[in-house]
Amino acid sequence: MSHQFDETVLREYDIRGIIGETLGPDDARAIGRSFATLLREAGGTKVAVGYDGRVSSPILEHALIEGLTSSGCDVVRIGMGPTPMLYYAEASAEEVHGGIQITGSHNPANYNGFKMVFQGRPFFGEDIQKLGRIAAAGEWLDGTGEVETRDILDEYVARLLAGLEGVELSNLQGLKIAWDAGNGAAGPALEKLAARLPGEHHLLFTEVDGNFPNHHPDPTVEENLADLKALVAEKNLDFGVAFDGDGDRIGAIDGEGRVIWGDQLLMIYAEDLLQSRPNETIIADVKASRALFDHVAAHGGKPLMWKTGHSLIKSKMKETGSPLAGEMSGHVFFADTYYGFDDALYAGVRLIAASARLGKSVTQLRSDMPAMLNTPEMRFQVDESRKFASIKEIAERIAASDAVADTTDGVRVTTDDGWWLLRASNTQDVLVARAESESVEGLERLMAQIDEQLALSGLERGESVGH
């Protein structure tokens, strides 16, 4: 017995495909067998398994567990919930050595996939390729694992509430907050959390529905925040929080309906954390605003720019001992009094705590931020064979000029006008561009530099494509 995956499903950070086309129960079974084989070889024996609210998730869960147990791993089934609840199950139980969440993340309803954690670290890149090679060779260990079901929702919600530790709860009684679960897997946890939080809470779309009938659950796309904005305006609420389909990415708006982007949220979290823990390293990805890195430095922290990708950021946090990191995409990682994984529900609780500790409303904190003009993330198709090669050419040309460039992940060039970025996506055949300036004219000049570099490599910006 062996198994060959479709060439498109083994991604850099996770495994992902289209149900009935590139992904199905046979793939799930093979993932289980390969993961269990790797874990047993590393001395582990028990895996936590969870799944999101997609229609296809229960079928994949059944096959995945079949694979894990037939290669000798015991399984703890935690049922349906957000991805961070699975991470919590793995991080908080000593006898659990790995975890797999079945989730299509923020992709359309006909997608699904797997996010994995292995002995407390992210499982990505070469790990995933190795998993594919084991399946192709059929080099699986045999065994008979046992399955137990564990309901950890209440325990998880209690752990989320610990994010308010040290905050005077009576000061929060007047808070009025809107929450949008987007019919994703975080809905039931959000209902329990909101019931236990001080203040007044207005909830949208907490009913789990894998067809996402109200809006697509990606809070980094502004049009998906329309319902949240309407609710905040109608009821005159303090701010609003939204989640993606599996609850590991946060979106937020202030009381005036302004979006608080991923790097702006990190400015708030960093300012709060650095009050009690000065000199700490705060990590953000290369797409983040210069305002964030300046803000961290101004409040006594050490800003560190790193590669985009939640697995890469988590690994860098472990390496540097950083207590806080984040990405433009809304992944925020707390390792000060939490476990270092991305949890949007916990990030929502920490936004309440940060506002209270800093003594300013979320709207005030958003108003205090410098007004930067930046482009949205522009993504455009480029042939897979040219993707990394073109970035290398651009980096070489920039290095030969006198421009100031950072090549941590792609090329980020800083000029008097601001900065521009070109990088290759790790998960799609696209290049990603972004630019930021303090003036319209400056932004235009930066965009012209991007276009010039693309043209020199025989490319053009063209139509921006979705995720």
What residues act catalytically?
105
> Long-range contacts: 93-98, Cβ < 8 Å, 24+?
93/48, 95/46, 96/46, 96/47, 96/48, 97/39, 97/42, 97/43, 97/44, 97/45, 97/46, 97/47, 98/35, 98/39, 98/44, 98/46, 98/47, 98/48, 98/73, 98/123
Per-residue b or e along 361-387, where b marks 16 or more CB atoms closer than 10 Å to that residue's CB: bbbebbeebeebebbebbbbebeeebb
Q: What amino acid is encoded at 311 in this protein?
A: S
Q: What amino acid is encoded at 173 in this protein?
A: Q
What's the token pair of residue 197? 């939080």
- Map residue 448 onto helix, strand or coil: helix
- Map residue 179 onto helix, strand or coil: strand
Residue pair 81/156 in contact (Cβ under 8 Å)? The answer is yes
Helix spans in 106-205 (H): 126-137, 153-161, 187-196
Q: What amino acid is encoded at 458 in this protein?
A: G
Place of tokens 């752990």: 159
Fill in the DSSP letter of residue 53: S
Q: Which helix (H) or strand (E) holds 203?
A: strand 200-204
Q: What amino acid is encoded at 141 in this protein?
A: L
Residue pair 186/346 in contact (Cβ under 8 Å)? The answer is no
Q: Rounded to the nearest 10 degrees, how much is the dihedral formed by the CA atoms of 209, 211, 212, 216? A: 150
Rounded CA separation 333/212 (Å)? 26
